[in-house]
Amino acid sequence: MLPKKLEAALNEQVNAELYSAYLYLSMSSWFESKNLKGFANWMRIQYQEETAHAMKFFDYINERGGTAVLKAIDAPKGKWKTVIEIFQETLKHELHVTSLINNLVNVSISEKDHATNNFLQWFVSEQVEEEANVTGILEELKMIEGKGPALFMIDRELKQRVFVPITPAGA
CATH of the domain at 127: 1.20.1260.10
How do residues 82-112 score in pLDDT, each as one tens digit?
A: 999 999 999 999 999 999 999 999 999 999 9
Does residue 170 fall inside a structural domain? no
Please compute the mean of the pLDDT values over residues 152-160 and round it to a whole number.
97
- The yes-or-no verdict on residue 168 having pLDDT over 80 is no
Does residue 55 fall inside a structural domain? yes
**Nearest to residue 136, comparing CAs of 42, 63, 64?**
42
110: containing domain: 4-158
DSSP state of 35: T
Does residue 124 fall inside a structural domain? yes
Number of domains in the chain: 1
- Rounded to whole angstroms, the Cα distance separating 150 from 127 reads 28
Q: What per-residue confidence (pLDDT) applies to 64?
A: 97
Does residue 108 fall inside a structural domain? yes
167: confidence class by pLDDT, cuts 50, 70, 90 = confident
170: confidence class by pLDDT, cuts 50, 70, 90 = very low
Does residue 91 fall inside a structural domain? yes
Does residue 163 fall inside a structural domain? no
Does residue 169 fall inside a structural domain? no
The interaxial angle of helices 114-143 and 149-158, nearest 10 deg, is 150
Does residue 164 fall inside a structural domain? no
- Rounded to whole angstroms, the Cα distance separating 171 from 169 reads 5
How do residues 12-56 score in pLDDT, each as one tens digit?
A: 999 999 999 999 999 999 999 999 999 999 999 999 999 999 999
103 φ/ψ sector (left φ>0, alpha ψ -120 to 50, else beta) = alpha
Q: How large a percentage of the chain has pLDDT more than 70?
A: 98
